[in-house]
Amino acid sequence: MVAAAGTVLSCGNDDPGPEFTVGAGDAVESRVLAEVYAGALARTGLRVAVEPGLGERGDYLGALDEGRVALVGEHTGALLAHFDDRSEARTPDDVLEALNRSLPEGLVVADPAEGADLRGRVLVVESENADAVADLAPRCPEIPAGVAPEPDLVRGPAVTVADCSFAGVVELPDAVALREALLDGRIRAGILNGPPDDERATEGLTVLADDDFAVRAENVIPLFRKGSLDDRRVRKLNYVAGELTTDELLAMIERVRGGADASHVAREWLDAHAL
């Protein structure tokens, strides 16, 4: 059943209406996450609706604060930066700990999806002789860099690289332009605001490993109103976190971008993982 607010999910007939609303911002990723969380919760017997198109982070967090929605999908690092822009936490555990300390009264998170890593990626040409982000640190003051958005992802703050101050940074419109600028030598390092969703955008380039989290962790996480879900339903969200991966999320985003219905895509993923 489709309502003006978005998809309404229920496991029973004669549905009196939703009792729990999951909000989504304008990004395709935000809608996909909303449908995944809503679909998982609906399978616990909760009457759930999805309200899409709520705008950017400030808009949908405002809707959460006002009680118009009860849950939104987010990224750990970006959410931490929103609530505490002075935090220097970078690793997944440190970011989660700092995030929990920074959350306003009345908001809580479930488990982050450790396998869904949406942090920025640093790219170089293969001749740069670097395998990891840490390899660039001593050379950063000599390296011009470029930054580009990865479309349809939940937006975060500008990606920064710890212990690295590049010799100037230019903004480029997309991953293709970033690749071209790297290959023709206009820049020597490129930063995408998320994982590349198209192998062609990184052909001939090295995506640097970042085991030390020079780029802050950005794991997918649900943020919701305290007391709005019981323990059984929070565990359901945690099961989702345990199954969701970067590649699967990017594949769902790509399908929705291509015209597939987000609720259908989410339902197929939930079925495939017995959730």
Predicted confidence band of residue 8 (pLDDT cuts 50, 70, 90): low
Do domains 20-116+217-273 and 121-207 share one topology? The answer is: yes
pLDDT at 14: 56
Does pLDDT of 51 surpass 90?
yes
Q: Could you please report the per-residue DSSP string of 204-259?
A: TEEE-B-TT-SSPP-EEEEEEETTSS-HHHHHHHHHHHHH--HHHHHHHHHHHHTT
The pLDDT score that the predictor gives to residue 60 is: 96
CB 104: neighbour CB atoms within 10 A?
Answer: 10
What is residue 7's predicted lDDT score, i.e. its pLDDT? Answer: 61
Task: Calculate ∠ Cα 49-51-52, nearest 5°.
Answer: 135
Predicted confidence (pLDDT) at residue 126 exceeds the cutoff of 60: yes
pLDDT digits (tens, 9 = 90+) for 209-223: 999 999 999 999 999
Ordered by start, the domain boundaries in the chain are 20-116+217-273, 121-207
122 against 197, higher pLDDT? 122
CATH classification code of 121-207: 3.40.190.120
Look at residue 172 and give its three-state secondary structure. coil
Structural fold of domain 20-116+217-273: D-Maltodextrin-Binding Protein; domain 2 (3.40.190)
Q: How confident is residue 129, by pLDDT bands cut at 50, 70 and 90?
A: confident
Between residues 11 and 244, which one has the greater pLDDT?
244
Average pLDDT over the chain, rounded to whole?
93
Angle between helices 28-42 and 262-272 in degrees, nearest 10 = 50
pLDDT-derived band at 200, boundaries 50, 70, 90: confident
What pLDDT score was predicted for residue 6?
60
**What confidence tier does 2 reach under pLDDT thresholds 50, 70, 90?**
very low
User: 53-104 pLDDT, tens per residue?
Assistant: 999 999 999 999 999 999 999 999 999 999 999 999 999 999 999 999 999 9
CA distance 128 to 184: 13
**Of all helices (H) and strands (E), which one includes residue 182?**
helix 175-183
pLDDT-derived band at 11, boundaries 50, 70, 90: low
pLDDT at 23 over 90: yes
pLDDT of residue 4: 36
Q: Predicted confidence band at 3 (pLDDT cuts at 50, 70, 90)?
A: very low
